[in-house]
Structure 1
Amino acid sequence: MFNSDPNSKPVSAKLPKEIITMIEKNNLVMAIKTLSEDENISMDAAKARIDAYETELKVKQQQKLTTIASKQGIPNEALSFDREQSDKVNQDQLIKNRVKTTPDEQGFKSLQSGVDSQLNDLGYKKRLIPYWAKRLLVIAIIMAGLFLILWNIFG
């Protein structure tokens, strides 16, 4: 972390567990007040320590995400949270004649394309008729056959 004042002590991100739980629950005001009272420091110093802890936590989470993504073959550009916001702005400006999809639909489409690419990598070929359609077709043929038999007997 960049320290603007070289004469000041470096900010220690080590915090008590109760403060960490408050931060994880997004109760930042209470965490700052409790930290400043427990260690007899100013509110600004407590806020600086909590901010340092939060940035350290975000960096660790980002590193975990990138390692998981690299193991799964997802490019790093797909994980950039800053890029998503700018893409949404650009997307709103570019799309005029098409129906906009909601983020849920976009997430499902990206999931579906990821699964399809994984199956293609494994060499899996999609069936011409899905399994459930075959089953419905068999049931319909059996019902039609039973109908014809019963029609001939009682008809």
Structure 2
Amino acid sequence: MFNPDPSDKSVNTKLPKDVIMMIEKNNLVMAIKTLSADENISMDEAKSRIDAYETQLKVKQQQKLNTIASKQGIPNGAISFDREQEEDEPGPLVKNRVKTTKKNQGFKGLQDGVDNQLNDLGYKKSLLPYWLKRLLVIALLMIGMFWILWRVFG
């Protein structure tokens, strides 16, 4: 192909395999550095090419998901990369209130679910936990040994 301006380098839209592997492993900084060093272009140009590749990859994945969802009868809106995770907007600060985080709420939900499942099975919790019973047995054995040694050598 004839290029009238020899100083203008033709843009190679295809990325090298090693850069593609870095992008798929989400190692974007190294991919940008490698691409700019391999093709002798600026970091900004390398970043724009990698961003374009990422968006193209996400579009392909979304199309595949949509075809699979349509085959299975799932509405297209149910599966999307564009949706952000639902986050609570921080409200005004209240001095005497502690707000639980999603991590704590998730663990609390897990605990509640396990407790409900055990209640459905008819499981009754013991009065003393197993570890406390074991500590009591060890303490009683130590007291008994101490008393015996006291009587023998005392």
TM-score class, shorter = 0.3 to 0.5
- Answer 1 or 2: higher relative contact order, Cα 8 Å, separation at least 6: 1
Please say which structure displays the higher CA radius of gyration.
2
The structure with the greater share of residues assigned to helix is: 1
TM-score between the two structures when normalised by the length of structure 1: 0.47
